[in-house]
Structure formats: structure tokens, C-alpha cells
Amino acid sequence: MTDLRKSSVISSSQETREACVSPLVSVVIPTYNRAYCLSRAIDSALAQTHQNLEILIVDDGSGDNTLELIQQQYGNEPRVKYFYQNNTGVSGARNHGMALAQGDFVALLDSDDIWFPWKIEAQLAVFKAFPEVGMVWTDMEAIDPNNQVVNPRYLRTMYSAYRWFSSADLFPKSVRLSDHATNLPEAILQVSAYCGDIYSQMIMGNLVHTSTVLMRRERMQRVGDFNSKYTHGGEDYHFHLRTCREGSVAFLDASSIQYQLGFADQITRPESQINFATSFLETVQTELTNHRDRIHLPAAMIRSVLAEAHCWLGEVLLKRGARAAARQHFRMSLSHRPLYWPVWRELLVTSLPKWLASPLRRIYRSIVKPNLNASSAVQRTDSLEKSA
């Protein structure tokens, strides 16, 4: 495998401006008690081959030495700007940074992730290839706490909604990056970029990872803020779904970031799953209610995603001991897909005495790997984004 690490329609006036000058890119980095890894993220932004950047660090009430880190390491770097706020959660921190952004484009970077040096330049080339798109995202490389690569193409592993679609289902148009750029590493020039309207497909689950995103300012302003209701998970899927509802987007088929796995303070830990499951179901139901005419999916697919979403939330509730609430969601799941056999199994468990239900579930799971377990098949369709 080649090591890639080394290696809405905009106005005509904006197109002219972008063609004549190097556009300003605003990089929004929310952070909370991440002094131990924050400098990696900042340094990866400063190392971009596209140098016209402003890097907006939004400190969401950290109690560690984040401020001292910024002062000592970046006090003489005019592109790095530090802003402190009382703790409101990752959505509030991102929204603060986005409101401060002055760039023609806005990039989102989590404080424990790392960009490859060519990321922004390559994505700007995709915008030139597809002037109608409002957002470009990419694949990602997963690393463990020792910085060892565990998966060089992690996007389709993390976001299981890709299982529903082929590339042709998602994108009607594609280009080779070499037709629109010259100064990138040769391995990147050989990569393809794809363009399409994927709003309908996003109903089946998230396809977009936040730290890979670069957006036009105009698209960001139309989409609005991250929903501050989802302070502990699920805000990303809600935001990216709305981004795709606003018009065409593009995907660069290369891993442009290193995505950090395994840190203890990540919001992807198991106790956060109730937030992801709840927000996923709420988001899908709201879109189906308010924008059904824009969603072009077979009825069977819509029934499937609702069945899986209710099952996922039911499983999480059952693990938390909320048996009555879990039973309600399992029944709702079966109302959408009556032959969804994993739900029948879970519904049976909620009808058994607690002293018997738990050991039976453990025995069953140790013997049989479910064909479709909602908490594994659906959870990654939500963004599972890390805390700021």
C-alpha cells in the first residue's frame, strides 16, 4: 500500500477570488483538558502545505495547563489564536470557533487527531474540481495510544452505514486529483475525488468524519451551529446530515488524518452510548418528519434504519437496567421489522427475572455472534465523535 503520509454553487466573484489568491482557511480546534496531546493537532495544522491559515483554539474550560502550553509553544505564532470559555461541551466550543472564523473555508480538527501536511491543499483542489460542492471530507488512518497504525482506511470500519451503498450509489461524478492539482505528492495526485447529493443516503447513518471536513464558509453559515442539546455525543451526525441536506458534497478517497483510538477521556467510551443511541434515533425521526419529500430511499431501507435505531437504544437501556423503557423500544423496532430476530431475543430477556436474564444473555453472546446486533451495526453510523 502506498504511504500517503509521505507522499451550493458559489458566486462567480468568489470563484475569481479563490483563483487569484490563496484562500484563508480557518481551523477550529475545540479542546478540554487535552494539553497532553493538543500540540500534535496544532503542529499538524501549522505544517500544512497550504499556509494561509488561522488556527482557532477554543478551550472549553480546561483545568490543566492548556493555556501555559499555548503561551509557551505558540505565543509567537500569529496564526494561532486562543479563546477560553466556561465549559459547555464540544458543540458549544465548536460553535464558538465557527462564529470567530474569518476564512473563506472552515476546517474542523479535534484536539487529539493529526492532519497529514497535504490535507487542506488537496481538499482545496477538490473544491476547484467541483465548484458546486459545499463540503469535502476524506478517509482516515486509525492509530493506537502508541501511535501505531491499526487501520490505514478506518472510515468504513467506524461508520457502518457504508455497508448499505456502493460508490456508484453515493456519487455520480468523479475526477482524478492530478487533473486539478500539480504540487501534491504523486501518490495523492493519483487519488480520485467523488461528488454527489448524499442527503438521502445519510439517513441510513453517518458517512462523514468531523476531523476530515473542510467546508465553504457559505455552506457552514446555511447549516448553522452544532446542536448544543447533544453535549455528550451525537452532535456530529446531526450536523453533517444537515450539511448534506443543503446541497452537494465531495469525498476525497485518501486518508488525510490520523484518528486517535484508545485515550481514556474519549467520549466513545461505553458509558456514553446512551447519548449516541438517543441522538441517532431522534435525528432520523426528525428528518423523516420534516423532510420526507427530500428522502429518496426504498421503504424497506427506512423501516430497517428505524428498526435498528430502536433496537440499539433498547439494548443500551437494557444494559443500564431500564427494562421497561428497553421493552418499549424493542416493540417499536419490531413494528418496523417484525422478523428482526435479534430484537425478539432481547425482548424475551426483558420478560425474564433479572437473576436469570443476565446470565442467559452472557451465555448466549459467548456462544453465538449475532448476525446483526444493533449496538455494533448502528452505533458507528452515528459519529461517535470524541469529546473536545
Spatial contact of 330 and 346, defined as CB atoms under 8 Å apart: yes
Residues 6+ away with beta carbon under 8 Å from 327: 314, 347, 350, 351
Considering only CA atoms, give the Rg of the chain.
Answer: 21
Q: What's the CA dihedral at 253, 111, 230, 275 to 10 degrees?
A: 80
pLDDT above 90 (res 371): no
**Domain over 12-266 is classified CATH 3.40.50.20:** no
pLDDT class of 74 with cuts at 50, 70, 90: very high
Calculate the alpha carbon distances from 357 to 133, 247, 317, 324, 329 in Å: 51, 48, 14, 14, 18
**Nine-digit cell at 332?**
417499536
pLDDT class of 379 with cuts at 50, 70, 90: very low
Q: What is the arithmetic mean of pLDDT over 338-354? A: 81
Q: What is the arithmetic mean of pLDDT over 145-164? A: 96
pLDDT class of 350 with cuts at 50, 70, 90: confident
Q: What is the arithmetic mean of pLDDT over 169-187? A: 94
pLDDT class of 142 with cuts at 50, 70, 90: very high
Beta strands at 105-108 and 214-216: parallel, antiparallel or unpaired: antiparallel
Choose the most confident range, by mean pLDDT, from 221-230, 245-254, 351-360. Answer: 245-254
pLDDT class of 353 with cuts at 50, 70, 90: low
pLDDT above 90 (res 263): no
Of 161-165, 227-231, 337-341, give the lowest mean pLDDT range: 227-231
3-state secondary structure of 262: coil
Q: What is the arithmetic mean of pLDDT over 132-144? A: 97
| H-state helical runs in 163-271 | 167-170, 186-189, 199-202, 217-223, 235-245
Q: How does pLDDT run across 235-252, given as a tens digit for each residue?
A: 999 999 999 999 999 999
Of 97-101, 204-208, 270-274, give the lowest mean pLDDT range: 270-274
Give the separation between CA 53 and CA 46, rounded to whole angstroms. 8
Helix and strand numbers (H, E) in the chain are 17, 11
**Nine-digit cell at 9?**
454553487
3-state secondary structure of 225: coil
Give the separation between CA 187 and CA 184, rounded to whole angstroms. 8
Of 74-78, 251-255, 377-381, give the lowest mean pLDDT range: 377-381
Q: Is 321 left (phi over 0), alpha (psi -120 to 50) or beta?
A: left
pLDDT class of 123 with cuts at 50, 70, 90: very high
Give the separation between CA 356 and CA 367, rounded to whole angstroms. 17
pLDDT above 90 (res 128): yes
3-state secondary structure of 254: strand
pLDDT above 60 (res 206): yes
Q: What is the arithmetic mean of pLDDT over 289-309? A: 97
pLDDT above 60 (res 2): no
Spatial contact of 220 and 106, defined as CB atoms under 8 Å apart: yes
Q: What is the arithmetic mean of pLDDT over 167-179? A: 94
Structure confidence at residue 357 (pLDDT): 59
Spatial contact of 381 and 160, defined as CB atoms under 8 Å apart: yes
Choose the most confident range, by mean pLDDT, from 320-329, 349-358, 366-375. Answer: 320-329
Spatial contact of 276 and 234, defined as CB atoms under 8 Å apart: yes
Q: What is the arithmetic mean of pLDDT over 198-208? A: 98
Entry pTM: 0.85
pLDDT above 60 (res 20): no
pLDDT class of 102 with cuts at 50, 70, 90: very high
Give the separation between CA 181 and CA 188, rounded to whole angstroms. 10
pLDDT class of 354 with cuts at 50, 70, 90: low
Structure confidence at residue 156 (pLDDT): 96
Spatial contact of 362 and 346, defined as CB atoms under 8 Å apart: no
Of 125-134, 277-286, 315-324, 378-387, give the lowest mean pLDDT range: 378-387
Instruction: Give the chain's mean pLDDT.
Output: 87
Of 6-20, 102-116, 135-149, 317-331, give the lowest mean pLDDT range: 6-20
Over 55-100, what HEC string results?
EEEEEECCCCCHHHHHHHHHCCCCCEEEEEECCCCHHHHHHHHHHH
Structure confidence at residue 276 (pLDDT): 92
Structure confidence at residue 256 (pLDDT): 98
Q: What is the arithmetic mean of pLDDT over 340-368? A: 70
What number of other Cβ atoms are within 10 A of residue 290's Cβ? 10
Domain ranges of the chain: 12-266, 271-381
Q: Which of 90, 124, 77, 118 is nearest to 104 (CA)?
A: 124
